[in-house]
Amino acid sequence: MTTRINQKWVLAKRPTGEPTEDCFRLEEESVGELDEGEILVEIKYLSLDPYMRGRMREGKSYAEPIKIGEIITGECAGVVIESKCPRWKVGDTLTVHEGWQSLARVNGEAATLLPADANLAPLSTWLGAVGMPGRTAYFGLQRVGKPKRGETLVVSAASGAVGSVVGQIGRLQGLRVVGVAGGAEKCAYCVEELGFDACIDYKAGTLEEELSASCPNGVDIYFENVGGAVTRAVAGLLNEGARVPICGFISLYNSEEDITQVETPFTVFAGLDTPPEHRFFLVREWFDEWLAASAELAGWIQLGELKYRETVAEGLAQAPAAFRGLLSGQNFGKQLVRVTS
């Protein structure tokens, strides 16, 4: 029997503010013989997402924090290289939520294992536009945002993995789409490539003025990804009956303060004279519909109606650096790590 060696990143210590190199530790372990019902997945791509920073905090949240010495959480896309489960055969491609590692030995019957049909869309997109970020945009906008043709949608982090899909779905549904992104290049991409009606560079120092000018009829839906100054600027433009799906607020994730003691989108919106309909949502609320949503998203890609962009770091060793870059906005589109070719 060939001895296979798995490489994995574990949490070495909890970050204070921005994660530093010594917060992560690379370990190796041998992968033993599979038990009946198990499969071994060779990881091809690793997804990096802002929520991972929250899981590194100690304290109550919607999910348990990563323990010290535990593998960094994350979704992966890969190929089955060994199977003792009738559900999967060698060569099948799928997504697994097994964290930052090169090999994943898992129960083949786990409900969280999902086929990733590379004939519908490239394998990498099953971690991006067709996968969790795309589905987050799909359900968050349609089920929480409840769009109506002719309304105005504002989406923050507009060029990112979630925001870019939100804006394009909004465009397909007849909304006026206004993005907020960091930098002229990202804003130009949203307008010229993705078809947004406008996109505002929050780094330019004229956020409130430009946002007001771009939303002459106010804002009906605000898809929240950022928090902070963007949230405050949008809050003053919300129409009566506005809806705010809260996906996250990345501007606060590296805060050294207790997250429960700082201003969040919840405190901003609740403090308005007429608070909008707003709530935090998780894409797993619609788990039974994930594959159907992915098929529709893939169909839009095939028709040229949904575009995406990826930033790919090469090699598992680059995961921590790429993650820090993600939290500071250095990526363009979906941030991935190519673990093996």
Q: List the one residue out of 200, 202, 147, 201 whose CA is nearest residue 176.
A: 147
Please state the domain count of the chain. 2
Do 57 and 108 belong to one domain? yes
Do 37 and 116 belong to one domain? yes
Do 81 and 151 belong to one domain? no
Do 156 and 262 belong to one domain? yes
Q: List the one residue out of 298, 131, 286, 142 whose CA is nearest residue 223.
A: 142
Do 163 and 62 belong to one domain? no
pLDDT tens-place string over residues 172-192? 999 999 999 999 999 999 999
Contact of 140 with 281, CB cutoff 8 Å:
yes
Let me know if residue 289 belongs to a domain: no
Q: Which residue has the higher pLDDT, 256 or 166?
A: 166
Do 88 and 146 belong to one domain? no
Let me know if residue 303 belongs to a domain: no
Do 141 and 266 belong to one domain? yes
Do 155 and 80 belong to one domain? no
Q: Which residue has the higher pLDDT, 331 or 103?
A: 103
The dihedral over CA atoms of 105, 108, 109, 110, expressed in degrees to the nearest 10, equals 40
Do 185 and 273 belong to one domain? yes
Let me know if residue 65 belongs to a domain: yes
pLDDT band at 51 (very low <50, low <70, confident <90, very high): confident
Let me know if residue 167 belongs to a domain: yes
Contact of 200 with 210, CB cutoff 8 Å:
yes
Let me know if residue 122 belongs to a domain: yes
Let me know if residue 302 belongs to a domain: no
Q: In which domain, by residue range, is 136 found?
A: 132-284
CATH number of residue 112's parent domain: 3.90.180.10
CA atoms of 79 and 121, how far apart (whole Å): 15
Do 16 and 122 belong to one domain? yes
pLDDT band at 329 (very low <50, low <70, confident <90, very high): confident
Pinpoint the alpha helices (H) of the chain.
51-55, 132-139, 163-172, 184-188, 207-214, 228-235, 265-270, 290-302, 319-327
pTM for this predicted structure: 0.88
Q: What is the mean pLDDT of the chain?
A: 93
Let me know if residue 301 belongs to a domain: no
CATH number of residue 164's parent domain: 3.40.50.720
Do 234 and 182 belong to one domain? yes
Residue 15 neighbours by CB under 8 Å, 6+ apart: 23, 53, 56, 254
Grouping H, G, I as helix, E, B as strand and the rest as coil, residue 26 is strand
pLDDT tens-place string over residues 115-168? 999 999 999 999 999 999 999 999 999 999 999 999 999 999 999 999 999 999
